[in-house]
Amino acid sequence: MKTTFAGAINMGLRRALEDDPKVVLMGEDIGRLGGVFRVTESLQKDFGNNRVIDTPLAESGIIGTAFGMALRGLRPVCEIQFDGFVYPAFDQIVCQVAKIHYRTKGKVVAPITIRIPFGGGIGSVEHHSESPEAYFAHTAGLRVVSPSNPADAYLMIRQSISLDDPVIFFEPKRRYWDKADLDFDRLDREGDLALDQARVCTTGADATIVAYGGTVATALGAAEIAATEGHSLEVIDLRSLSPIDFDTIETSVRKTGRLIVVHEAPVFGGLGAEIAARVTERCFFHLQAPVLRVGGFDIPYPPAKLERHHLPDPDRILAAVDRTLAA
User: Is 285 exposed, middle or buried, given 0-12, 13-18 or 19+ CB atoms closer than 10 A?
Assistant: exposed
User: Is 306 exposed, middle or buried, given 0-12, 13-18 or 19+ CB atoms closer than 10 A?
Assistant: exposed
Cα–Cα distance measured from residue 131 to residue 118, given in angstroms and rounded to the nearest whole number: 6
Residue 260: strand pairing partners: 209, 292
Three-state secondary-structure class, residue 257: coil
Structural element, H or E, at residue 129: none
Three-state secondary-structure class, residue 29: coil
Cα–Cα distance measured from residue 16 to residue 25, given in angstroms and rounded to the nearest whole number: 10
Cα–Cα distance measured from residue 26 to residue 28, given in angstroms and rounded to the nearest whole number: 7
- Strand 233-237 versus strand 199-202 pairing type: antiparallel
Which one of the listed residues 101, 127, 128, 138 is annotated catalytic? Answer: 128
Residue 87 contacts residue 46 (beta carbons within 8 Å): no
The DSSP-derived string for 57-126 is S-HHHHHHHHHHHHHTT-EEEEE-SSGGG-GGGHHIIIIIITTHHHHTTTS-----EEEEEE---S---T
138 is catalytic: no
Q: Phi and psi of 237, rounded to 5°? A: -90, 115
- Strand 240-242 versus strand 143-145 pairing type: antiparallel
Cα–Cα distance measured from residue 69 to residue 65, given in angstroms and rounded to the nearest whole number: 6
The residues annotated with a catalytic role in the active site are 128
